[in-house]
Structure formats: C-alpha cells, structure tokens
Chain A
Amino acid sequence: MTRDGEAALAGALLAPETPAPAAVADAHRFNVYRNNVVVGLIDAVAATYPAVLALVGEPFFRAAARAFVLENPPRSPIMIDYGDAFPDWIAAFPPAAGVPYLGDVARLEWAWTRAYNAAEAPPLDIAHLVEIPPDELALARVTLHPSLHLLLSRFPIASLWAEATGRSAATHLDLSQSEAVLIARPDAAVDVRAITPALSAFLQTLSAGGTIADAAAATGDDQARVADCLTSLFELRIAVSLLPEPVADQRSAP
C-alpha cells in the first residue's frame, strides 16, 4: 500500500460521516470494517463499565460510548488499559447530567479493573505488628498493596455499584449519603467496600508516605479508632511492608 492508502483507511475508520477511501473497491463493504472497529471499541468500554451500563440502560450507554470511542480511540494494543478517560468524559457528558453520580461510579469501575490487573504482592501478616515496639511503630511507614485504590464520593457509590452489578439486592438508597470506598485485590478477588471516614483518612495518609503517627493524627488521634485502623490494615490484607524510620535519619538525630 502506498503511504496514503493506510492513512486514508485509518482516517475514515473513526469518521463515520466521511466517504469510503478510494483504495476500497466497494464503498459499502468498507462500512463493515468501520462498523467492526466502532462496535469492538464500544464493547470494550461496556466490558469495563457494566455498572454504568446498568444504571443508564444499554441504548443510552452504547450511544454515549460510541461518542466516547470516536473522540478517545485506544493508543495502545493492550485493551485492558483502555477506557481510563471514560469516567471524566461521562461525568461531563451533557445528556448524562441528570445522573450526577455516574462519573464516580465509573471511577470505581476503573479502579476495579486496575486492581484486577495490578501486580501481585504478598500481604503482611498481623503477627508482624506485635514484633515492633510501639515507639518504632509510630514512626514506621507502610507500603500499601499495589492494587489498592481509595475513592471519596459525595454519593454512595459502593452501594450503587453493588446494586447495579447485581452483587447486592436493590434497596432505596439515600443518594445524599457520601461514601469512602476501598478497592483492593490482595488475593484472587477484588474487594470493594465502603469504609469509615477515619480509615479512609488513615490510609490516604499512609498512601501519601506519612508515618503511622501521621495517619493516626489524620483520624483525630482517638486511640480506639487508631487501633481499628491498624487492625483493618492487616485484616484487609493491604499492608505489604512496614519499615521503621530509616536508620540514617535516626543517626542524624541529636
């Protein structure tokens, strides 16, 4: 093919209103390729965002996804990485403005697929905790599991997601209820759960590189609450390593 040939085909595939390229013997048949490409991309978005699809219904979803894929075609042949732009896009899609939680539910689904495909890392056992003297523990930093994602929404997105995907029975949700959500996959299954604001603050602080003392402060330093957070860190199997303050820093201290 001449250089113009492939470029002409490529340019027309994602431009449904343009005529078929001259290189194609049968213009109508070119639409088979065009349709296969667009439908294949819509199917890929649908596979990643089943809760969004369930919340808006298939006809609306496919029409929205068609517009999305034409504006945001994949840039990589790794299709499990495709669709990261969809949550922001659907949140700003004017016809979906009446469903204000759609963008946040999509963010949860994107985090789910990231967690599903994330690197493996063996979680620390809680037995590790008791070996560390309390004053060292306070200064320790925690490496969290590579699959961990934390979301904050002003909508009950974990509940919306669970109901939309059939994981829990439909209830009458209070849509004014905000939720902090944890998404992680330390083992084979992706764990999605609403967590307390305290645990969310605790984990956000650790995730940003803070010490356990910093994370405790972020929860308000309530002892019972901090103990709950530490327990959750191990029960949810999301702590991968726990490192005391670096030795070099301790030497430089007076």
Chain B
Amino acid sequence: MTLPTAAGLPFKHSHFPEIEAADGAVAWYEVHAENYMGAGGPPHRMLEALRALRPLSLHGVGLSIGGEGPLDRDHLQRLKGLVARYSPASFSEHLAWSSHDDIYFNDLLPLPYNAETLATVADHIDETQEAVGVRMLLENPSSYTELAGSSMDEIGFLTAIAERTGCGLLLDINNVYISANNQGFEPATYLDGFPLHLVGEIHLAGHATETEADGGRLLIDSHDRQVDAAVWSLFKQVIAKTGPLPTLVEWDNDVPDFDVLLDEAAIADRALSAAAAVTAAAE
C-alpha cells in the first residue's frame, strides 16, 4: 500500500472524536511511532480505530539515524512491531541524531555531511530497512547553524544516501525554508537541485520568526501555526514538477481545533489538484 497523493494530517488524540464522526475526514494520517510504544491503552485503541478508516504514515522521531553510535536494537524491534501491527503505508525517519551515549535529547540534532557520516548513516539505514522490513523515507532536517566538519552539501549527502541504501526521501519544505533563511541560501535554488524523483512524501509546517541581536531574522521550526505563505509558494513550485505527492501539514505545538487543521489540509488539497490537472494536461 502507498499513501494517497493527497493531503494528510497529524493524528492528535484530542481530535479523535471529530475524525471518527467525520468517517476519517482526510485522506491519511501520520503518527509519531514513539507515542505508540506503550503496552496498551487509549493510544492503541484509537490508532486501531483510525487504521480501520484511513491509511497511516508511521513517522519515527527517536531512532537517531544520524548519530555516530550504534542504533538501538530494541528500538528497531519496537518499530518492527508497530509496522507488523498497523501495516502503515509509509515509514519515515530523520537525518538527525537525538541520542548520545545513554541520553535521549527528545530533539532532532544536526550532523556534518562528510564521507565518514555518510558511511555511518547509510549503514544505519540499511540496518533499519533490514530490521523493520520496509523501505523507509529519510527527511531533510531544519538547521539553525552550520557545523564544522562538513565537506558535502545536504542535497549531495541525501542523494548519496538514497543511492546507497535504496531509501526514499521525505522533503520537508518548511525545513528547507528555515535552513535557507538561517544559513543564507536561496530555498528555490536548493529545491531546484533536490532529487525530486526520490521524494515519497512532503511535509509542510508553520515556523516562528525571531529577530536576533544584530537585527537578522532567525526562523524556528516550531510547528505551532499555519504554514507560511512563502512555504506554500515553494510547495506549489515543487508539485508543479513532481505532480501530486502525499503531503502532510504538521502541527505539533499549541494544537488548534480540528477545523483549523482541516482548513490547512484543504489548502494543500487544492494545490495538489491544480498540480494534477497541470501534469495531466502536459502529458
């Protein structure tokens, strides 16, 4: 099974009654894998009911694929268990690290891009795909600063990873926009160079804007508001080339009423329909 090439929403437990009452409401839902690693209870009860209504995307946030240390084998087995139980249409994780030694930071942290980290990340993805038993999508990170030790650019790194491991890519356009602002490059140029044929899913989200001491603009990957107009615009440019792709509108903090998320999904669906019409006309 693959995800529908339509808008999806993050599954928030507080929205479950409305989702159920609306018989699913949108095409698909994404869940963070680690929220379903308890033994039982309402999270699993609700996810089972949701799974009966709509396809799921299982999105891991804690595997630390970009870390230099070995992957947590127990965690891989837990992911495998969730895939077996819920048969998600997609499984994805991040190009980031979140654990070091035995500490888990609960955040997606940056790594430099070089031959050494490329080899480590590729090994981690091979191990993940082998253990979990599905092809995964790897998501580009958001970034606040450059790290010493990089000798490759992000696109070259992601492309090489995908070629070595056979994984697909999850393109987070909000992350591109944030990194571009914070590191001083053009997001459209980055997207022009992105291997779009490898993209299996798109993420969109809202970000916060801060003014720094020097008057510069810093963007924070806050997932707490509507998608920015500039990110919608980049999204439309991408899907004009790719045609419609499964597109998640993320919202993880200050989660609003379900209606607000439905409105965001509707904007994405309109853009996806327009892209489908254009792609069809071109063929």
Interface residues of A (CB under 8 A from B): 1-3, 5-7, 9-10, 13-14, 22-26, 28-30, 32-33, 36-37, 40-41, 44, 73-82, 115-120, 146-147, 185, 188
B31 at the interface (CB under 8 A from A): no
* 8 A-B pairs in the complex with CB atoms less than 8 angstroms apart: A30-B144, A30-B145, A32-B145, A36-B220, A41-B106, A77-B99, A81-B38, A118-B41
B271 at the interface (CB under 8 A from A): no
Report the bound CA distance from A178 to B150 in whole Å.
Answer: 61
Q: Which residues of B contact A78 (CB under 8 A)?
A: 34, 37-38, 62, 78
Q: Which residues of B contact A41 (CB under 8 A)?
A: 106
Establish whether residues A29 and B218, one from each chain, have CB atoms under 8 Å apart when the complex forms: yes
Q: Which residues of B contact A120 (CB under 8 A)?
A: 39-41, 44
Determine which residue in B43, B102, B112, B147 has the highest number of CB atoms from chain A within 10 A of its CB, and name it.
B147
Q: What 1/0 mask marks residues of chain B from 75 to 93 whose CB sits below 8 Å from any chain A CB?
A: 1001000000000000000
Please judge, given known A-B contacts A6-B67, A24-B147, A77-B34, whether A1 and B116 are in contact too, CB under 8 Å. yes
- Nearest first, the 10 A-B pairs at minimum CB distance are A77-B62, A117-B38, A10-B100, A29-B145, A119-B39, A120-B40, A74-B104, A25-B146, A23-B148, A32-B144
B128 at the interface (CB under 8 A from A): no
Q: Which residues of A contact B213 (CB under 8 A)?
A: 28
Instruction: Name B38's contact: one of A10, A73, A80 (CB within 8 Å).
Output: A80
Please judge, given known A-B contacts A32-B220, A77-B62, A78-B62, whether A188 and B42 are in contact too, CB under 8 Å. yes
Q: Which residues of A contact B117 (CB under 8 A)?
A: 1
B153 at the interface (CB under 8 A from A): no
Establish whether residues A117 and B40, one from each chain, have CB atoms under 8 Å apart when the complex forms: yes
Report the bound CA distance from A82 to B72 in whole Å.
Answer: 17
Report the bound CA distance from A80 to B13 in whole Å.
Answer: 14
Report the nearest A residue to B221, measured CB to CB: A36
B111 at the interface (CB under 8 A from A): yes
Q: Which of B43-67 contact A (CB under 8 A)?
A: 43-45, 61-64, 67
Please judge, given known A-B contacts A2-B149, A3-B68, A23-B112, whether A80 and B105 are in contact too, CB under 8 Å. no
- A3 nearest CB across to chain B (Å): 6
Q: Which residues of A contact B42 (CB under 8 A)?
A: 116, 188
Establish whether residues B107 and A40, one from each chain, have CB atoms under 8 Å apart when the complex forms: yes
Establish whether residues A6 and B100, one from each chain, have CB atoms under 8 Å apart when the complex forms: yes
Instruction: Name A1's contact: one of B45, B147, B182 (CB within 8 Å).
Output: B147
Q: Which residues of A contact B62 (CB under 8 A)?
A: 77-79
Instruction: Name B37's contact: one of A36, A80, A115, A188 (CB within 8 Å).
Output: A80
Q: Which residues of A contact B37 (CB under 8 A)?
A: 78, 80
Establish whether residues A32 and B149, one from each chain, have CB atoms under 8 Å apart when the complex forms: no
Report the bound CA distance from A44 to B148 in whole Å.
Answer: 31
Establish whether residues A118 and B40, one from each chain, have CB atoms under 8 Å apart when the complex forms: yes
Please judge, given known A-B contacts A40-B106, A77-B104, A80-B35, whether A6 and B97 are in contact too, CB under 8 Å. yes
Please judge, given known A-B contacts A28-B212, A76-B104, A77-B99, whether A5 and B148 are in contact too, CB under 8 Å. yes
Q: Which residues of A contact B281 (CB under 8 A)?
A: none
Report the bound CA distance from A240 to B110 in whole Å.
Answer: 48
Report the nearest A residue to B99, measured CB to CB: A77
Establish whether residues A79 and B149, one from each chain, have CB atoms under 8 Å apart when the complex forms: no
Determine which residue in A44, A77, A119 has the highest number of CB atoms from chain B within 10 A of its CB, and name it.
A77
Establish whether residues B103 and A10, one from each chain, have CB atoms under 8 Å apart when the complex forms: yes
Q: Which of B133-156 contact A (CB under 8 A)?
A: 144-149
Report the nearest B residue to A120, measured CB to CB: B40
Q: Which residues of A contact B148 (CB under 8 A)?
A: 5, 22-25
Establish whether residues B104 and A73, one from each chain, have CB atoms under 8 Å apart when the complex forms: yes
Establish whether residues B100 and A44, one from each chain, have CB atoms under 8 Å apart when the complex forms: no
B259 at the interface (CB under 8 A from A): no
Report the nearest A residue to B103, measured CB to CB: A73
B257 at the interface (CB under 8 A from A): no
Report the nearest B residue to A14, measured CB to CB: B103
Q: Which residues of A contact B98 (CB under 8 A)?
A: 77
Report the nearest A residue to B62, measured CB to CB: A77
Establish whether residues A6 and B145, one from each chain, have CB atoms under 8 Å apart when the complex forms: no
- B40 nearest CB across to chain A (Å): 4
Determine which residue in B41, B44, B67, B117 has the highest number of CB atoms from chain A within 10 A of its CB, and name it.
B41
Instruction: Name A117's contact: one of B43, B107, B182 (CB within 8 Å).
Output: B43
Establish whether residues A25 and B147, one from each chain, have CB atoms under 8 Å apart when the complex forms: yes
Establish whether residues B106 and A118, one from each chain, have CB atoms under 8 Å apart when the complex forms: no
> 4 more A-B contacts (CB under 8 A) besides A25-B147, A75-B102?
A1-B114, A5-B112, A32-B220, A118-B41
Q: Which residues of A contact B105 (CB under 8 A)?
A: 10, 13-14, 37, 73-74
Establish whether residues B111 and A1, one from each chain, have CB atoms under 8 Å apart when the complex forms: yes
Report the nearest A residue to B33, measured CB to CB: A77
- A105 nearest CB across to chain B (Å): 21
Report the nearest B residue to A32, measured CB to CB: B144
Report the bound CA distance from A118 to B43 in whole Å.
Answer: 10
